[in-house]
Structure 1
Amino acid sequence: MALSDMRALQEEGHGESHDYVHGSPHLKHPELRSWITERILATVRASVPPGTRPRVLEVGAGHGSLTEHLLEAGAQVVVTEMSGPSTDILRARFAATDVVVVHDPDGDVPVEGDFDVVVYLSVLHHIPDYLAAVESVIGRLRPGGAFVSFQDPLWYPRLRRRSRLAARGVYLAWRLGQGEFRRGLGTVARRLRGVYDDTHPSDMIEYHVMRQGVDERALRDLLAPHFTSVEILPYFSTQSRAGQRLGRRAIAPNTFGLVAAGRTDLR
Structure 2
Amino acid sequence: MTITPGKPSIRELQEREHGVGHDYSKGSPHIRHHTIRDRLIGSLHALVQGVIDRNGQCRVLELGAGHGTFTDHLLAAGAQVTLTEMSEPSVRFLRSRFRCNPNVTVLYDKDGTSAHRAGPVDAVVCISVLHHIPDYLRTVEQLIDQVVPGGAFFSAQDPLWYPRRSRLSMSLDRNAYFLWRLGQGQLRRGLATRLRRSRGVYDQANEADMVEYHVVRDGVDEEALRDLLDPSFQEVEVKRYWSTQSGLLQVAGERFFPTTTFGLVAGNRR
Query: 1:51 Cα deviation (Å)?
Result: 9.6
Choose the corresponding residue for 2:110, options 95, 105, 109.
Answer: 105
Q: Deviations over 1:145-171 (max 9, x none)?
A: 100000000000101111210111111
Alpha carbons 2:116, 2:146 under 8 Å: kept: no
TM-score by length of structure 2 reads 0.94
Higher mean alpha-carbon deviation, 229-238 vs 51-60, is at 51-60
**Alignment partner, residue 164 of structure 1:** 170
**Alignment partner, residue 213 of structure 1:** 219
**Alignment partner, residue 88 of structure 1:** 92
Alpha carbons 1:56, 1:76 under 8 Å: kept: yes
Query: 1:235 Cα deviation (Å)?
Result: 0.6
Distance 1:171 1:52 in 2: 43
Query: 1:141 Cα deviation (Å)?
Result: 0.8
> Structure 1 residue 41 and structure 2 residue 69: aligned?
no
**Alignment partner, residue 182 of structure 2:** 176
Query: 1:201 Cα deviation (Å)?
Result: 2.7
Aligned residues: 264
Alpha-carbon RMSD across the aligned residues, in angstroms, is 1.7
Runs of 5+ unmatched residues, structure 2: none
Choose the corresponding residue for 2:151, options 145, 148, 157.
Answer: 145
**Map 1:1-267 → 2, pairs under 5 A:** 5-49=9-53, 52-98=56-102, 99-108=104-113, 109-264=115-270
Alpha carbons 1:4, 1:106 under 8 Å: kept: no
> Match of 1:100, as an amino acid?
T
> Match of 2:17, as an amino acid?
G
Distance 2:42 2:250 in 1: 19
Alpha carbons 2:127, 2:157 under 8 Å: kept: yes
Alpha carbons 2:7, 2:205 under 8 Å: kept: no
Runs of 5+ unmatched residues, structure 1: none
TM-score by length of structure 1 reads 0.95
Query: 1:71 Cα deviation (Å)?
Result: 1.1
Distance 2:213 2:139 in 1: 17
Secondary structure, counterpart of 2:73 in structure 1 = helix
Q: Deviations over 1:73-124 (max 9, x none)?
A: 1211111111111111000000110101111111111423321111000000
Going from structure 1 to structure 2, the CA distance change for 1:226 and 1:51 (only over 3 Å counts) comes to: closer
> Match of 1:111, as an amino acid?
R
Query: 1:4 Cα deviation (Å)?
Result: 6.1
Distance 1:137 1:28 in 2: 28
Distance 2:107 2:50 in 1: 26
Secondary structure, counterpart of 1:48 in structure 2 = helix
Going from structure 1 to structure 2, the CA distance change for 1:110 and 1:16 (only over 3 Å counts) comes to: farther
Following TM superposition, the consecutive aligned residue runs of length 4 or more in structure 1 with deviations greater than 4 angstroms are: 1-4
Higher mean alpha-carbon deviation, 104-113 vs 2-11, is at 2-11
> Match of 1:204, as an amino acid?
M
Distance 2:138 2:50 in 1: 26
> Match of 2:108, as an amino acid?
H
